[in-house]
Amino acid sequence: MAWECYGHAMPNRTRISTTVDTDRLARARREFDLNDAQLVDRALEALLGEVDDAKERAALLAQPYDEDEALAWSVGPGESLPYDGDVPDHVQRLASERRAQYRTE
């Protein structure tokens, strides 16, 4: 439910009061040109992102892709793709080199 603050609806917001490092806050204000609420929101998002990343890494370590039969399949080189426009020469050379390298492996 939204609550009123200065006559404006504030959905999903919680008022906090805390003490932070003065220099770090000043630098963040200069670097990002955001108000304090936006800075805290971004910081929380970054911290939660770190937690999500750590959980994903732990899950991958616990159940690696290459040990899962449904995920551990190899795909050989496919057919050359048709293009509507001209493919630059350097791109064609690189593709040929990679196909040749794949065949020798």
The DSSP code sequence of 49-63 is HHHHHHHHHHHHHHS
Domain boundaries of the chain, sorted by first residue: 21-104
Residues whose CB falls within 8 Å of the CB of residue 14, separated by 6 or more in sequence, listed in order: none
Q: Are 31 and 38 in contact (CB under 8 A)?
A: no
Taking alpha carbons only, the member of 9, 6, 14, 5 closest to residue 44 is 14
Please tell me whether the overall predicted TM-score, pTM, comes out greater than 0.85 for this model: no
Per mean pLDDT, which of 5-9, 42-46, 87-91, 100-104 is the most reliable?
42-46
Confidence of residue 65 (pLDDT cuts 50, 70, 90): confident
Encode pLDDT of 9-56 as tens digits: 667 888 999 999 999 999 999 999 999 999 999 999 999 999 999 999
